[in-house]
Structure 1
Amino acid sequence: MGIAGPRSAIEWLVSAAADPEGCRFEWERNPLGVALLPAGRLWDILILSGELGYPTLDVLTRLTGRPGPVLADFGDSRLGFFVPPGTAGRWLGTGVRAIGRGTWIVVPYPGRPTGGVRWLIPPDGTGHLTDPVVLELAMHEAAAQLAGE
């Protein structure tokens, strides 16, 4: 799966909004470079602490080559992994916050620096997401590595 580019990533992200054109218009003019987008339509998000999230991302990258989009919050204290819609309603793992239908997420404009949330793995515009089963396996491996340190 090739990388489609920033423009198609923006198109994909705003397609989650009720009014994609209005969302893009406001987002491109927002001095903070962020938009509030609904979860649960095109993606859910699993949020891990930075302590577990970074090692999980390392394992996930080794397993998959390129995971789906991943956000880091201000200070890198939390990482958000984009997973298929419906995952949040089925997620049973402890220590993980699941964001799905009925919730919103602050999303930075791809390729534009912001003062807070940022892309660790930006969307590629294809809709590629992280498989939650593979994410869970990566979390277990990362937790075992952390426990062994």
Structure 2
Amino acid sequence: MATQPALSLRQAGQEWLLSCAEHPALTQKAWDADDLAPIPTGTHWRVAEAPLAGSMDAVKRIGHHRVGPVLADVTQSTAWWLLPPDLDDELDDVRQLTVYPVGWVLRCPPALFPVRGRVWMERPDGSGRLTDPTLLGAAFGPGGPQLPAEAFG
């Protein structure tokens, strides 16, 4: 069945999100109630906030195969990029991005379906892959990518 692999990836992404939560059972309970679940940054990822329209363009520039999870809120026209937890100051000069500190809480829907206007624009797939901050910064930098085209695959 053609949908089985996609469903398996979404389920793997769901399990990965649960593994990132401080309280997986409470996270699952929130999702079962069609609510967003708080998942703090730090141990598993950091978060950069960006305008939704710019994020859609950035995904195309970077390439779907090189992008980690990206959460979108269509009611706020905002997106949140999941980045490596050891992120330093690589994105400090990118005006369109706001990088949140360790401990900041991202209110997440499950990987399987949207909740309250939030949907995974790029779903977690269970692999733990996160977006490379260098590629993200280049995609949002003045005039678009600042790296050679080969860097984007």
More helix by percentage: 1
Unaligned runs of 5+ in 1: none
Alpha carbons 1:27, 1:109 under 8 Å: kept = no
Summarize deviations over 1:15-70 as a string: whole Å, max 9, x none. 1222223432x1342223x2111111111111111242221121011xx6341001
**Aligned pair count?**
137
Alpha carbons 1:47, 1:96 under 8 Å: kept = yes
User: Residues 113 and 48 of structure 1: is their aligned pair in 2 closer, same or farther, counting only changes over 3 Å?
Assistant: closer
Aligned twin of 1:111? 112
State the percentage of identical aligned residues.
26
The whole-number CA distance in structure 1 between the counterparts of 2:102 and 2:30 is: 21
The whole-number CA distance in structure 2 between the counterparts of 1:74 and 1:100 is: 23
Where does 1:1-149 land on structure 2 (aligned, <5 Å)?
5-24=9-28, 26-32=29-35, 34-61=36-63, 65-75=65-75, 77-87=77-87, 89-90=88-89, 91-93=91-93, 94-140=95-141, 143-144=142-143
Question: TM-score, length-normalised on structure 1?
Answer: 0.79
The whole-number CA distance in structure 1 between the counterparts of 2:138 and 2:68 is: 15
User: Residues 71 and 129 of structure 1: is their aligned pair in 2 closer, same or farther, counting only changes over 3 Å?
Assistant: same
The secondary structure found in structure 2 opposite 1:119 is: strand
Shift of 1:133: 0.6
The whole-number CA distance in structure 2 between the counterparts of 1:74 and 1:120 is: 10
The secondary structure found in structure 2 opposite 1:101 is: coil
Give the RMSD, CA atoms, in angstroms: 2.2
The whole-number CA distance in structure 2 between the counterparts of 1:95 and 1:137 is: 12
User: Residues 45 and 100 of structure 1: is their aligned pair in 2 closer, same or farther, counting only changes over 3 Å?
Assistant: same
Unaligned runs of 5+ in 2: 145-153
The whole-number CA distance in structure 2 between the counterparts of 1:28 and 1:105 is: 14
The whole-number CA distance in structure 1 between the counterparts of 2:108 and 2:84 is: 17
